Homo-oligomer: A and B are copies of this chain.
Amino acid sequence: MSTAGAPVMRGRIDKRQAIVDAAFTVFAREGYAKAGMDVIAAEAGVAKATVYGHFGDKETLLRGAVVASADRALADNLAAVERLTGGGDDLRETLETVGLRLLQCHCDDRSWAVRRLISAEINQFPDLLDIHARTADRIAEALADRLSRLAVAGRLHTPDPLLAAEQFLALLAGSMDRRARLGTRRVPAAELRAVAGAAVETFLRAFGPRE
């Protein structure tokens, strides 16, 4: 569970990270309410009181775990979106690639877990959704930016790039709740590709260049 050559644990910063990771794991597995601070501490390899030393209480720990997860998710998704350059020769193929990447981000275990967590605790901790929503917004905006460029280049026809982005994402992710059973089933790569393909097909029929 430790990083490298150090004997067991290289410093306080590592401990904090271990705690966040453990918290996320346990919250994801058991849910916020059922997750025990004992269990989280054990998973992190520290004493229970150490957890309280870093994060003041369970609620703060949850927030810490969610924020960390949102940060990682944002980076992954933006990386995917950035592959959508207008320069590619084949628009369909590019869209399919990007769509597949986005789908893979969406279907990452941790992604499912945060969404489930936030969904579960929305009444108790509405601010968790703010964190998440900000992330999702930035992804949609980034995607809209790229679609705008394509529109300007005459390769797409859409008066409202943000709407187009939203619908693209909806076509991609819309059926995943069912297919992945909310993240408890691993969706085969082939199925992901098919979904991405169908999404792109419909998207291009609606917004693509008229032949």
Residues of A within 8 A of B (CB): 29-34, 115-116, 118-124, 126, 129, 133, 136-137, 163, 166-167, 169-171, 173-175, 178, 181-184, 198-199, 202-203, 205-207
In this complex, the member of A29, A122, A126, A133 whose beta carbon has the largest number of chain B beta carbons within 10 angstroms is A122
Between A and B, 23 residue pairs with Cβ closer than 8 Å are A30-B123, A31-B123, A31-B124, A32-B33, A34-B124, A116-B120, A116-B122, A119-B119, A120-B120, A120-B121, A123-B184, A129-B182, A133-B181, A167-B174, A167-B199, A170-B173, A171-B171, A171-B174, A173-B174, A174-B174, A202-B202, A203-B206, A206-B206
User: A202 to B167, Cβ gap below 8 A?
Assistant: yes
